[in-house]
Amino acid sequence: MYRNTQNIDVQIISQLRQIIRAVALFSSQVKKQTGLNASQLACLTELNEKKELSLGELSKRIHVSPSSVTKIVDALEQKKWVERTRVNLDRRVIKVKITRKGSNVIFKAPKSLQKKMLEGLTSLPLGLKEQIESNLEVLSTLIDAQELASSPLLDTTDKVIDDTTSFKETKDFSTQLQNKTA
């Protein structure tokens, strides 16, 4: 079947918009159902699975900077969904654990988009994964997205994606992307 380049371009842009919309809808759904953003959901999910982690361990497990994880835990602690304790031997080490109230929130929360994606990607052959990675890298370069710090958390509602990319910068980037693809 013959397809011209312009039709393929439109299909690629359409599929990217579907993905962006799915992330936005998921973020909105999670926020509405639980009051959590993606970073908070990831944090509570990890704590629910591991029961107790240091701030450093939690930071590594959810792929955010230590200062970002501190802000996330501050917000969760205010809602009494987690609690912090200092380790007796080394008072500098702070452990975080989920509370019963936090576990109830996680129980009601939908499975994270990252988990769904990871489960799907796990079932793909290595060659196909490498092809997807390569193609996404090309698309990222086309829209100058490689300059943005990446975050494995998929969310459009976080105020700070990481220490170098603010919410405003992310919104500006989304607007640039829409203008380039329109």
CA-to-CA separations, 113 to 47, 92, 143, 169, in angstroms, rounded: 18, 34, 23, 22
Which pLDDT does position 2 carry in this prediction?
59
Query: 87: domain range?
Result: 5-181
3-state secondary structure of 13: helix
Say which CATH number the domain at 109 has. Answer: 1.10.10.10
**Total structural domains within the chain:** 1
The beta strands (E) that lie in the chain are given as: 52-54, 82-86, 94-98
> Could you report the per-residue pLDDT of 82-118, keeping only the tens digit for each?
998 887 776 777 889 999 999 998 888 887 777 788 8
pTM confidence score = 0.64
